[in-house]
Structure 1
């Protein structure tokens, strides 16, 4: 009785199927029963019963199929006229949402003006990534010590390896402006009066020699690599920042060797700093680098070559400089130690 109660609701919902199933069982039983049970004409009676029951089963199956189709028709109509009909519209909206998401991501990337670098390792890695495959480099800063020691030699080396053109623009403080050099030296000493990574302290004489060395390095590398387009501008003002800008990124460093900022190409900050560096370079006093063929330098420049170079380009060395001072400038130009190593 319990089993009948549990199966009754199912049988009520599927009456035709239940009847067909019952008849199928009956037909199966009749088919295996002996003919003698149905009397003298048991064979004919058995055949008629099986045939009639089979027809009834087929009729019930057909009824069930028709009923299911009748039930599915509204659903199919709803799907066809509703969700499927709106599918192109929904896909179009999805594409719009995806486009909006990409636009929003680009806007957020642009709004993220700079990223702070908080260690020497991060700064060195950022410089290495900036140098990779770059075709141009712009620098503006104090005397360009790190530029001479690392940036310029490695950029030229990579360009030579790939046999490609390289454009470099350098802006440093004017070494002939003794008062400006003294201000820069005082500023650097006010931050730290101990020797820096090069083992030297900042004095007016050192500032002048570092700037002279940057000019000499530019001429030497220009003669050494034909595809190098290099320019040097001498600034009449000092800056507390150092800008390094390549094809892919901008790096702004300060006197703290563990702090810097970087911005990728294409961002608002990068583009505006690029414009600032271009305009600043145009306003600086230009060193006539086009005279590099008129004042040839040896692989190891002599004191006479260095002195003649600065005389010919209109940036003469102080008359108080001895041969030892000139040799020091040449060593700073071509063998400058990495101040952050």
Structure 2
């Protein structure tokens, strides 16, 4: 839809500019014919007059076509986005969003980029934002092992510990953002099932992305016939998850730079209150906190 609108704007802009140029030439460049010797001036003037009429007809037809022949092609509501366009689409959607649902295995990208954008928009707009995050259950060893095996390749090996740390870090970040913007409501759903494609749902769009850098994404606008289907798909899967409300993280964002022993105790209590006790040692919790400074896996 956005691409079609852009093309239509350029179409009308080029016609208006062409019309202006021809009119200026006709009025100020071409002299009025005064006799038989000015036959070429007469011909040129007639051509210019015909061009003006043609451009006016083209503008009128272009303006009427969308009303006379409204498009029912749902493909206009679906866009294929490259990696940079994915980031731009997500950031733009967060500016006015009041609802955001995400299904991402560790939510690494979401917690580093999308969630801070939503927090900033909520604070700036002084409005609530309801967020649901569906993640892999970090307590399910077999599930994490299967995901680590799927993500591993000869150049980069994934481990159960790495997957678990990323999930814990995303949950901690959710609580930090809630602490910074109390009007944000975040519910985390821990799933016992694995999946491949990530899903972001806002009030106005559904975005389906892969899990590797450089992979394109599919954006379905609210006008798409598939939008409601993706919403139903998310809600159906989220209903089967174990739900957590991440609040009171036991540490501030500034404290994450150099966490003290008291901060570690606070973070441990936070995870324990959620029933998450796999990462409990001081060393593991420091790694969870340090995850915030590591690069994300997607964009």
Q: TM above 0.5, one fold? A: yes
> Hey, what does 2:31 align to over in structure 1?
none
1:278 aligns with 2:235: yes
How far did residue 128 of structure 1 move?
2.2
1:217 aligns with 2:178: no
> Hey, what does 1:311 align to over in structure 2?
272
Decide which of 144, 154, 157 is 2:117's aligned counterpart: 154
Shift in CA distance, 193/125, structure 1 to aligned 2, threshold 3 Å: farther
1:115 aligns with 2:83: no
State the distance in 1 between where 2:222 and 2:289 align.
35
- Kept after mapping to 2: 8 A contact 1:148/1:336: no
- Kept after mapping to 1: 8 A contact 2:213/2:297: no
State the distance in 2 between where 1:314 and 1:237 align.
19
State the distance in 2 between where 1:237 and 1:139 align.
15
Per-residue CA distance 1:265-284 (angstroms, 9 max, x = gap): 13111111011111211111
- Kept after mapping to 2: 8 A contact 1:307/1:317: no
> Hey, what does 2:150 align to over in structure 1?
187
What SS does the aligned partner of 2:138 have?
coil
- Kept after mapping to 2: 8 A contact 1:310/1:317: no
> Hey, what does 2:133 align to over in structure 1?
170
Shift in CA distance, 222/98, structure 1 to aligned 2, threshold 3 Å: closer
Decide which of 207, 211, 217 is 1:251's aligned counterpart: 207
> Hey, what does 1:208 align to over in structure 2?
164
Per-residue CA distance 1:299-340 (angstroms, 9 max, x = gap): 42611111111112212134xx532221111232x4453434
Per-residue CA distance 1:147-190 (angstroms, 9 max, x = gap): 1110001110111111111111100000000110000000011x
> Hey, what does 1:322 align to over in structure 2?
281
State the distance in 1 between where 2:142 and 2:118 align.
33
State the distance in 1 between where 2:144 and 2:77 align.
32
What SS does the aligned partner of 1:182 have?
helix
How far did residue 113 of structure 1 move?
6.1
Give unpaired runs (5+ residues) of structure 1: 1-96, 196-200
State the distance in 2 between where 1:139 and 1:253 align.
11
How far did residue 296 of structure 1 move?
4.3
- TM-score, normalised by the number of residues in structure 1: 0.62
Per-residue CA distance 1:54-77 (angstroms, 9 max, x = gap): xxxxxxxxxxxxxxxxxxxxxxxx
- Kept after mapping to 1: 8 A contact 2:102/2:132: yes
> Hey, what does 2:219 align to over in structure 1?
262
**RMSD over aligned Cα atoms:** 2.3
What SS does the aligned partner of 2:69 have?
helix
User: How many aligned residue pairs are there?
Assistant: 228
State the distance in 1 between where 2:191 and 2:154 align.
25
> Hey, what does 2:185 align to over in structure 1?
229
Q: Per residue, is there more helix in 1 or in 2?
A: 1
State the distance in 2 between where 1:339 and 1:138 align.
20
1:133 aligns with 2:106: no
How far did residue 254 of structure 1 move?
0.7
State the distance in 2 between where 1:158 and 1:202 align.
34
How far did residue 222 of structure 1 move?
1.5
1:298 aligns with 2:252: yes
